């Protein structure tokens, strides 16, 4: 069984990462109801009522892409398109209209009555996105240069580069190590660049 990787440090970013690579995905956790159910449970947002899940998947994929397109430029100091912000806001407003406030530690949070359906999951994702956009550390957003996964950098030195060292980071270090080992020993002779994996191939390796 393939494990679900959650490296985004925010529900909305992990939701954007439900494809294993971009622009060409080898796996999509929102492709089928069974895969979506597995991902939701791993993310701590189990879908308790699968009725209507299949019909909700197109909307889930639309929200995923809106979230990705909103946060990806922010990870590079740019601005998202208003259309993507609006798509998130519409889903968020829908969620707020169906929510209630419940105690959460020393404060309150939006919550939805049982059972937890696919619609509730999308409301939670949209709420996560709005909270990150309005109160989050957007200067800590990052994008993995290999697979394009998004993450919130919570490291102490704020120098995280990869989605995780266990996958993309370790592969990149291995490539650079073997490229260095295979370089000509004579420093006077410029080393020819090691054959590189194409961008699409690079993004297809690693994540299950």
Give the pLDDT confidence of 94-127 residue by residue, as tens digits. 999 999 999 999 999 999 999 999 999 999 999 9
pLDDT band at 181 (very low <50, low <70, confident <90, very high): low
Cα 67 to Cα 65: distance, rounded to the nearest angstrom? 5
Q: Residue length, the chain?
A: 208
pLDDT of residue 174: 52
H or E element at residue 108: strand 107-111
Give the pLDDT confidence of 26-82 residue by residue, as tens digits. 899 999 999 999 999 999 999 999 899 999 999 999 999 999 999 999 999 999 999
Site of tokens 């208003």:
82
Give Cα 11 distance to the centre of its chain.
8
Read off the tokens for 174: 């291995």
pLDDT of residue 24: 85
pTM value? 0.82
């Amino acid at each position: 069984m393939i494990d679900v990787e959650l490296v985004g440090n925010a529900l909305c970013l992990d939701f954007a990462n439900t494809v294993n690579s971009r622009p060409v995905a080898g796996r999509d956790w929102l492709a089928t109801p069974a895969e979506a159910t597995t991902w939701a449970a791993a993310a701590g947002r189990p879908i308790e009522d699968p009725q209507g899940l299949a019909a909700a998947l197109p909307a889930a994929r639309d929200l995923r892409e809106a979230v990705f397109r909103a946060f990806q430029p922010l990870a590079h100091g740019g601005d998202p398109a208003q259309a993507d912000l609006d798509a998130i806001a519409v889903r968020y407003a829908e969620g707020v209209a169906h929510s209630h406030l419940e105690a959460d530690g020393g404060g309150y949070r939006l919550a939805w009555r049982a059972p937890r359906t696919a619609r509730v999951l999308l409301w939670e994702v949209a709420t996560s996105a709005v909270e990150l956009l309005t109160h989050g550390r957007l200067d800590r957003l990052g994008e993995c240069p290999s697979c394009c996964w998004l993450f919130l950098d919570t490291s102490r030195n704020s120098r995280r580069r990869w989605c995780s060292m266990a996958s993309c980071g370790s592969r990149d270090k291995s490539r650079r190590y073997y490229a260095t080992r295979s370089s000509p020993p004579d420093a006077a002779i410029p080393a020819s660049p090691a054959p590189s994996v194409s961008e699409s191939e690079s993004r297809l390796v690693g994540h299950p």
